[in-house]
Amino acid sequence: MGSEAAGMGSEVARLLEAVDFAARKHKEQRRMDPEGTPYINHPIAVARILAHEAGVTDLVVLQAALLHDTVEDTATTFAELEERFGAAVRRVVEEVTDDKRLPKAERKRLQIERAPACSRRAKLVKLADKLHNLRDLNRCTPQGWSEERVQEYFRWAARVVSGLRGTSAALEEALQRLFEERGVPT
């Protein structure tokens, strides 16, 4: 049953459906920070950045932000997302999902290569995802990460973000400041 057939007419109700779905899917997962923050804090923060800092009101983008790591990091399928949230949300999540069957270096390379051809909706989610992950790295270092690994994540993120330009001035400026603070070329 799709969202209309389910009778979830209001946008607020549909947004909460996505928060609840993501929270249940990520319930066993923790971030890599020393406190072991619940993983769901990250997708919620990404959606919040989009609403609060980029002024996004497009429900598809906000739902996709909440759901953006469910397929990559939990047993969720794209078919399940389409069934519950519709084809548009499914498509955005597909665009931001890495194929975990590929070696890590290849996944990282493909993000740089594919960023420019992403839809505007996917670019917004990717910008907010990187912005939150970089702020999190400034807040504390993930367990097992060296300072060099943190710096390498900043360098790689700058290359992905360079392919996402012209999407949200507010997010791009916030990211630019973080790269400058680290002396990372953009």
Question: Which amino acid appears at position 87 of this protein?
Answer: A
State yes or no: is 73 an active-site residue.
yes
Selected range binding Mn ion among 15-23, 28-36, 123-131, 147-155, rule: CB under 5 A? 123-131
Q: Are 174 and 164 in contact (CB under 8 A)?
A: no
- 3 state SS of 33: coil
Give the residue, chosen from 32, 88, 112, 170, that forms a contact with ligand G4P under the rule CB under 6 A: 32
- What whole-number distance in Å separates Cα of residue 6 and Cα of residue 138? 42
- What whole-number distance in Å separates Cα of residue 80 and Cα of residue 82? 5
Tokens 């949230």 found at:
85
Give the residue, chosen from 14, 22, 129, 131, that forms a contact with ligand G4P under the rule CB under 6 A: 129
CA distances from 131 to 21, 64, 157 (A): 23, 16, 9
Regarding 172 and contact with ligand G4P (CB under 6 A), the answer is no
CA distances from 127 to 22, 162, 173 (A): 20, 10, 11
Give the residue, chosen from 40, 111, 118, 129, that forms a contact with Mn ion under the rule CB under 5 A: 129
Regarding 95 and contact with ligand G4P (CB under 6 A), the answer is no
Closest distance of CB 125 from ligand G4P, Å = 10
- The one of ligand G4P, Mn ion, none whose footprint includes residue 80, by CB under 5 to 8 A per kind, is none
Nearer to ligand G4P, 30 or 57 (CB): 30
- What whole-number distance in Å separates Cα of residue 4 and Cα of residue 65? 20
Closest distance of CB 120 from ligand G4P, Å = 18
Catalytic-role residue among 17, 53, 58, 72: 72
- Region of 36 (left: φ > 0; alpha: ψ -120 to 50; beta: rest) is left
Regarding 78 and contact with ligand G4P (CB under 6 A), the answer is no
Chain contacts with ligand G4P (rule: CB under 6 A): 31-33, 42, 69, 72, 104, 129, 133, 136-137, 142, 153
Instruction: List residues with catalytic annotation.
Output: 72-73
